[in-house]
Amino acid sequence: MDFNDSAEEAAFRAEARAWLEKTVGQPNAKSNLRVEGPEAMEAAKAYQKKKFEAGYAGLTWRKDVGGRELAPIFQVIFGQEEQKFQAPTGPFAIGLGMCIPTVIAFHSPEKLKRYVGPALRGEEIWCQLFSEPSAGSDVAGLKTRAVKDGEDWVINGQKVWTSGAHYSDFGILLARTNPEKEKHKGLTMFVLNMKAPGVEVRPIHQMSGGSNFNEVYFNDVRISDTERLGEVGNGWNVALVTLMNERLAVGGSMGPEYGEILELARNTPSPSGKGTLLQDQAFREKLASWYVSAEGYTLGKYRTMTALSKGQTPGPESSIGKILNANRMQDLANAAIEAEDHYGIISDPSLAAMQGAFHNAYMWAPGLRIAGGTDEILRNIIAERVLGLPQDVRVDKGVAFKDLPGGR
């Protein structure tokens, strides 16, 4: 066992770090601010362009589409370094991490020339149009219709929880092309121009107060059949390729961790009134559990990296990370607020602990437990794909989608 990079990996990491130092500036692990607004977007696009020119974009992709065909471990290493430098990669995560790999797998050579380069250079941003108001955990239950009309498809319906739709140029759209078929068999995937007539993007006002996601409405939107990804009716299998690519992209908890709450407890009185909260035994036991969970998550990533390093593909076991992180984020934020007793209710950044970071985590964590696979769906995935337990009884097998309860 050792935690060192191989010689080749170490050389790559050093080279990446030198480039990031030159391009982004000093590492800044403490800054946790979300980039918003047009200026931030311009900066992100400029960064992506430099990244492409330096050869760090599309590291694992085929050479004929502009990639370097490196092993996935190099993508992970570059991502780790980018994170340390707080490089502005956010707007491209979904497009380059999930959409374009799907486009590469299924689109025609001419279209690859059209789409891959601009995406790699940061000129065009992509989003993923899967979830719908009546199709969340059960994505294949979606109802957005695509009807063939000459050489085009006409789209009507609505998507929801679409990250970045308001600044995206293109999206991959999963739509129902045949409601006479079974649920999973009547779907088809398309590339959608987000600026096309009839596409309307409306921000969702979240319980946290922010707006990180959108609703997207389609009103007689036309898509050429040449923008179809894969065969008609094979959309579900295309979508699985997209979702598989999500596994490499799972992030950390994005909130305060045991170190931050330890500091808070050091300066907060204990509930007994004697000493600090950090001296309170009940608090100490919780702190130990958060430590074990947070470190276990990080160490688990090292195990994934080891598998990648040996050329293996990470499986569905990485679903563990989000269950652990989202729940720890919620519990820890809750404990931090309760730690301060009545004062803990104050959100004003000039008065609140960590400028309100615990409140932000408290209000963001419920979303994190749902987004990208709910706690419950992730447990199903572990049970079925890792432990090999049988699927639940299916009431939708062998039934045309239109005949399912709620299928219309």
The catalytic residue positions are 246
Q: Please state, in angstroms and rounded to a whole number, the distance separating the CA atoms of residues 247 and 225.
A: 30
Q: Please state, in angstroms and rounded to a whole number, the distance separating the CA atoms of residues 402 and 20.
A: 53
* Residue selected from 84, 181, 185, 284 as contacting other proteins according to rule CB under 8 A: 284
Q: Give yes or no for residue 288 binding other proteins (CB under 8 A).
A: yes
Q: Give yes or no for residue 14 binding other proteins (CB under 8 A).
A: no
Q: Give yes or no for residue 339 binding other proteins (CB under 8 A).
A: no
Residue list 63-82, contact with other proteins (CB under 8 A): 73
- Give the binding-site size for other proteins (rule: CB under 8 A): 51
Residue list 366-395, contact with other proteins (CB under 8 A): 376, 378-380, 382-384, 386-393
Find the shortest distance in angstroms from Cβ 330 to other proteins.
16
* Residue selected from 41, 154, 262, 371 as contacting other proteins according to rule CB under 8 A: 262
In sequence order, what are the beta bridge partners of 223? Answer: 153
The angle, 0 to 180 degrees and rounded to 10, between the axes of the packed helices 258-266 and 319-339 is 10
CB-based burial label for 17 (10 Å; 0-12, 13-18, 19+): middle
CB-based burial label for 282 (10 Å; 0-12, 13-18, 19+): exposed
Please identify, among the stretches 269-277, 303-311, 359-367, 397-405, the one whose residues bind other proteins according to the rule CB under 8 A: 303-311
Q: Give yes or no for residue 11 binding other proteins (CB under 8 A).
A: no
Distances (CA, A) of 332 to 33, 181, 208, 305: 20, 47, 17, 27
**Which lies closer to other proteins via its Cβ, residue 38 or residue 388?**
388
Q: Please state, in angstroms and rounded to a whole number, the distance separating the CA atoms of residues 135 and 225.
A: 25
Find the shortest distance in angstroms from Cβ 205 to other proteins.
32
Question: How far is C-alpha 365 from the chain's CA centre?
Answer: 14
φ, ψ dihedrals at 130, nearest 5°:
-115, -60
**Which lies closer to other proteins via its Cβ, residue 174 or residue 250?**
250
Q: Please state, in angstroms and rounded to a whole number, the distance separating the CA atoms of residues 91 and 40.
A: 10
Residue list 219-258, contact with other proteins (CB under 8 A): 258
Find the shortest distance in angstroms from Cβ 370 to other proteins.
16
Asked if 98 and 128 touch (Cβ cutoff 8 Å), the reply is yes
Q: Which residues of the shown chain bind other proteins in the complex (CB under 8 A)?
A: 1-6, 9, 73, 258-259, 262, 278, 281, 284-285, 287-289, 291-293, 295-297, 299-300, 302-303, 305-307, 309, 317, 320, 323-324, 376, 378-380, 382-384, 386-393
